[in-house]
Amino acid sequence: MIESRDGLAGVSVRFGVVVFPGSNCERDTLHVLTDVLRQPADLISHESTDLSGYDCVILPGGFAHGDYLRAGAIARFSPVMRAVERLAADGRLVWGICNGFQVLVEAGLLPGAMLQNAGLRFVCRWVHVRVDADDTPYTHSTSSGAVLRMPIAHHEGSYFVSPDQLARLEQRRQIVLRYCDADGAATPSANPNGSISSIAGVCNEARNVFGLMPHPERCAEPILGGVDGRLLFESVLSRTSERHAATDGDSRPRALSAAPGTGVAGG
């Protein structure tokens, strides 16, 4: 575990949390954003078509559309995904957690594919992950080689890419997190699902789209048994506030009509 940063008072980043039929972690994520970090955030319907008011949009964990066909295969066709694609193309942040990661892979916003876990069983437990890239907006408050402790809960979490794709990911430093032991070694026994090269999280080439299988929202408060997940949220706050400071205040996108944290925003 590494300590979270102080000095984020006064930072304001507008978040949106997409709700698909079958999502079940949107309230947990919203709680961290609004109650723990005191940030403006809305729940966003999967039918929304305008996300222009948000700095960061999160696709949360769950079982979107019941994971029929395969995890994320139906959700990727939701109307909101076109808006997510536009947001990513605009350089803003798109973050997929667990099922959200699966949706981003299905949508082609992140490389690779998700397979069923090795052993074909649902895995729900705490794991360690090593930060292999600390130059993303999501790991900005960590350091390369840092070991974080976070929980996982998934059945289709075995990340896969071809050997050529893996080489490209390595070359471009798109592998952000790897499963490891408490000392940071990426050993086979520390890999909970059989992911190739122990990959737990990846980003796109532009580094603004990020997906991971562990649940940082479930370890952002001491009462939950760990706080390492908070570092990822704080990273987004820190990096996005820097971006705002570097641009004219009037150019910051406006929020959608729903009051922060009070309901579901529509497009």
Q: Which residues are catalytic?
A: 98, 215, 217
**Residue 58 in tokens:** 């999160």
Residue 251 sits at φ, ψ, to 5 deg, of -85, -5
End-to-end CA distance of the chain: 39
Instruction: Using the structure block, give the residue that is written with the tokens 């979270």.
Output: 4
Please state the separation of Cα 194 from the chain's center in Å: 20
- Residue 59: what residue type? L
Instruction: Using the structure block, give the residue that is written with the tokens 């959608």.
Output: 256
Largest Cα separation within the chain, whole Å, is 53
Beta bridge mates, 265: 44
Cβ contact 32:67 at 8 Å? no
Element (H, E) at 230: helix 230-245
